[in-house]
Amino acid sequence: MGRMQRKQEQQRSRSVGRRSGVIQGQAKKRHHPGRWVAAILGIIVLVIVLGVVFFTPLNNAVRTASGGNDTVADKAVKSAVVSKLESAKTGNSTVDGAIDQVESTIKDTKVSAVMQAAKSESSMTSLLESKGMNSTQASAAANAVYSTSALDGVRSEVAKGNWYGVYQQAQKLSSSQGVDLSSVESALMQQ
């Protein structure tokens, strides 16, 4: 009788275990896709935020690692500047010729050279001379850019390679009333 009782108890425990296992198994099979989706979205948002926050240092690091060559972001900035210049064409052959010359200069100049020129007046003079200005014109233009305090913010952001900061400073400059850029214009117009 002891053997039979044990056998019956084992069968009962197995059937209870099976029933509870099915219930537990169903509970375990229930996945919470909302948690996974939230976790994945959280990671994506974190990567985007970190990319935005650390964009400038990462872009500068890539530029430095590539030997001063333009990065993808640099090329995009250059393209945006060139398209802005294209929209400024007036139909006047003299003005449009000057804009075309500026566009080709922008395309041919490495951003690392522009950043260096934004750090010191002598570097800017050297860059302008290397792009075809005579030394008197280049010196006058660089002096005008460096002595115009309204351009300090833009120049500082260019020196850092912070394109979003350049955009913000340019917006601020364009919305400012009474900003006198005549000295820069006259220095650039001397031929």
Neighbours of 127 (CB within 10 A): 19
Which pLDDT score, from 0 to 100, does residue 24 have?
47
Q: With the C-alpha atoms ordered 75, 80, 86, 89, is the resulting torsion angle positive or negative?
A: negative
What pLDDT is stored for residue 121 in this prediction? 92
Query: What does the alpha-carbon distance between residue 150 and residue 118 come to, in Å, rounded to a whole number?
Result: 14
* Helix, strand, coil % over all residues of the chain, rounded to 5: 80, 0, 20
- What CA–CA distance (Å, rounded) separates 119 from 94? 31
pTM: 0.64
Listed residue (83, 86, 60) closest to 73, CA to CA? 60
* Whether the Cβ atoms of residue 142 and residue 121 lie closer than 8 Å to each other: yes
**Ranges of residues in the chain whose predicted pLDDT is under 70:** 1, 13-32, 177-191
Instruction: Residue 187: count other Cβ atoms within 10 Å of its Cβ.
Output: 19
CA 97 to CA 110: how far, in whole Å?
22
Instruction: In whole angstroms, give the CA distance from residue 20 to residue 152.
Output: 74
